[in-house]
Amino acid sequence: MELWPWLTAALLGLLLLLRLHRGANFCARIALYCALCLAVSALASLVCLLRHGGRTVENMSIISWFVRGFKYVYGIRFEVRGRPKLEVDQPCVIISNHQSILDMMGLMEVLPRRCVQVAKRELLFLGPVGLVMYLGGVFFINRQRSSTAVSVMADLSERMVRENLKVWIYPEGTRNTNGDLLPFKKGAFYLAIQAQVPIIPVVYSSFSSFYDISTKLFTSGTIRVEVLDAVPTSGLTVADVPKLLDTCHQAMRTTFLHISKTPQGNGAAEGSGAQAAQ
């Protein structure tokens, strides 16, 4: 019995289902994204090991090159304003809003040289994804043990100045799709003040027009990225953390609502960035 007609019909049926059924299309795109992350992480890890032999911030340029290709698969466009502000030749803390698993694409699109990220320790155990993050110099924090997190941040403060590193942190601490910014945690601001380095806020527009997990929407779209002016911390002390946090939160929230064309409402971050312990 000839199987090709049946296989062809099944494949056409599957393609039709993915086109017509939003939920199936969403799941397929997410599955492809996860598969790409695993495959690209494995390949990038091999290249990093062959090129630099181990863990170094220089591997981030290799990782970034691989991940930037994702946008062509998903039809995602980036409109970036203020990119040169990230290319300063000095250590700094970069903070940005955190919306979904797609943030990795946005991060790698504008990632400056000698920039590492701070991530939760659980990501270290995600097979090739954890390996490539480790090789790229990512700093992992155990959020369940505050003493360990404080120790890592203290070590990072010294290293970023000594090695001229930029450090990228998501101050919301978790993904957020509520159409506003969550209150910021204090860790990034303590780090910047301890190292006496500027903070550079980066704001990504809302993904909701093309990506929404609650409605299973996942299509192509455009992400607007705005790099704000650096906020100096020279001369500031720990006592200035609340004011510094609030200044950055207000500037980022105003920009987020503007570039997302989202009306101001009673979001979780209305008014100011309520301070939570890192």
Residue range 65-115, pLDDT digits in tens: 999 999 999 999 999 999 999 998 999 999 999 999 899 999 999 999 999
**Is 152 domain-assigned?**
yes
Give how many domains the chain has, as a whole number.
Answer: 1
Task: State residue 9's pLDDT score.
Answer: 52
Q: DSSP assignment, residue 123? A: G
**Residue 225, beta-bridge partner list:** 80, 204
- Report the candidate in 252, 242, 177 with the shortest Cα–Cα distance to residue 211: 177
Query: Residue 180 sits in which domain range?
Result: 21-259
Q: Which amino acid is at 226?
A: E
**Is 1 domain-assigned?**
no
**Is 276 domain-assigned?**
no
CA pair distance 69, 225, nearest whole angstrom: 18
CA pair distance 144, 152, nearest whole angstrom: 13
The pTM of the whole model exceeds 0.75: yes
CATH of the domain at 109: 3.40.1130
In the chain, % of residues over pLDDT 70: 83
Interval 42-51: pLDDT, tens: 999 999 999 9
**Is 83 domain-assigned?**
yes
**Is 132 domain-assigned?**
yes
- Least confident interval from 140-149, 174-183, 217-226: 140-149
Q: Residue 18: is its pLDDT beyond 90?
A: no
Going by pLDDT thresholds of 50, 70 and 90, the confidence category of residue 261 is confident
**Is 3 domain-assigned?**
no
Interval 118-173: pLDDT, tens: 888 888 999 999 999 999 999 888 766 665 566 777 788 888 999 999 999 999 98
**Is 8 domain-assigned?**
no
**Is 119 domain-assigned?**
yes
